[in-house]
Structure 1
Amino acid sequence: MQKITAQQIRSSFINASRSEAAKLNLPQNFDTLDWDNLDFLGWRDQKMPLRGYLIFPDGGSLTGVLLRAPEGGAKKNRSVLCEICRDVFSKEDVLLWVARRAGASGRNGNTVGTLICAEFLCSGNVRVEPPANEINPDPSEVVKRQITGLQSRTRLFLERVRGR
């Protein structure tokens, strides 16, 4: 992912009002992010922990969505798989993040949700090389497939937010 500015982030949202985008708090580590190893920028608002943001570069433009986490956080009685990274080894909590749909549909209260890592660490999860084995003798090829899958599933989720 290319480095982006706060203004680019604020103008990328497809399901947030201008005032919601203007009030967002950037990630605490925004100035030191490892942009080369991010497929999307995702974070929880430190002042409003039930609010999350996901910014995805696609085709030369940025698409941002405002997300909402469930009240009470993650339930500890069962494990669920993040739909974005699908990392079966991650010990991170996964939440059902919900986004208002873009446009009139969202203004009418329609939403769409998906399971995403609670702290949006998906880009790091897919870059963990598995041990070589008979089925996957080249771990770097596995990582490339995982990155491609993450990008594809993120794109599909954003299409659902757009209502397409």
Structure 2
Amino acid sequence: MEIVTEEQIRASFVNCSKGEASRLHTPRDLAERPFADLDFLGWRDPGAPDRCALVAERADAPGGLVGITLRFPPPQRGFLHRSLCSLCLTTRPGNGVSLLTARRAGKAGRQGNSVGLYMCTDLACSLYVRGRKQAESGARQDETLTVEQQIERLRTKLDAFLDQVLEG
């Protein structure tokens, strides 16, 4: 992923109002993020613990970026429960993987329609696939695919999810 600015991030959101995008907390450590190893930029909003955001490059988007806001469900599972991330196939205990829901873009989103995807709650899927980060108390599935093929799978699944958000 190319390095992005706060202005580019705020302009990329498709499933919230401009006012909501302007109030959203952006990462303070933007300059330190490992953009070369990211397929998307994801972060939790410190001002709203049940909310996070994701920005990804898309050739068909104005400015080349699509940003979406997502919601976390309240913590419910015990530590013994394990879940699998749909993007990076990392298995995590407890709340390490959550169903993140995104309001659809446009009229459908204003009518309350949303889509969801099971994702790592720390939004570090790109780093797990590349082996740059290890999941605490978690494990990656044994893979026969190369790292490049796993990255392509992650990007394909992310694009499919973003397509669902944009269908609104």
- TM normalised by structure 2 equals 0.84
Written as runs of structure 1 = structure 2, the 5 A alignment for 1:145-156 is: 145-156=149-160
In structure 2, the partner of 1:132 is none
Report Cα offsets for 1:41-64 as digits up to 9, x if no partner: 001011211110010102271011
AA of the residue aligned to 2:18:
R
AA of the residue aligned to 1:34:
P
What's the offset of the Cα at 1:87?
A: 2.3
AA of the residue aligned to 2:163:
E
In structure 1, the partner of 2:128 is 125
RMSD: 2.0
Q: Tell me, what secondary structure is at the counterpart of 1:98? A: strand
In structure 2, the partner of 1:4 is 4
Q: Is the 8 A contact 1:100 1:161 kept in 2?
A: yes
Report Cα offsets for 1:124-150 as digits up to 9, x if no partner: 111029xxxxx95xxxx6110111011
Structure 1 residue ranges (4+ consecutive) displaced by more than 3 angstroms after TM superposition: none
In structure 1, the partner of 2:140 is none
CA distance in 1, matches of 2:28, 2:46: 8
* Structure 1 residue 116 corresponds to structure 2 residue 119: yes
Question: For residues 54 and 15 of structure 1, do their structure 2 counterparts lie closer, same or farther at Cα, with a shift above 3 Å needed?
Answer: same
CA distance in 1, matches of 2:43, 2:77: 20
In structure 1, the partner of 2:81 is 78
Q: Tell me, what secondary structure is at the counterpart of 1:80? A: strand
User: Could you tell me which of 79, 95, 99 is aligned with 2:98?
Assistant: 95
* Structure 1 residue 69 corresponds to structure 2 residue 77: no
* Structure 1 residue 17 corresponds to structure 2 residue 21: no
In structure 2, the partner of 1:162 is 166
Where does structure 1 lack aligned partners over 5 or more consecutive residues? 130-134
What's the offset of the Cα at 1:28?
A: 3.4
Q: Is the 8 A contact 1:93 1:117 kept in 2?
A: yes
Q: Tell me, what secondary structure is at the counterpart of 2:25? A: coil
Give the percent of matched residue pairs that are identical in Structure 1 and Structure 2. 37
Between Structure 1 and Structure 2, how many residues are aligned? 153
CA distance in 1, matches of 2:69, 2:87: 16
- TM normalised by structure 1 equals 0.86
AA of the residue aligned to 1:83:
S
Report Cα offsets for 1:21-40 as digits up to 9, x if no partner: 00111123212111101110
Where does structure 2 lack aligned partners over 5 or more consecutive residues? 133-142
Report Cα offsets for 1:83-132 as digits up to 9, x if no partner: 111124x5670011011111000000111111110010101111029xxx
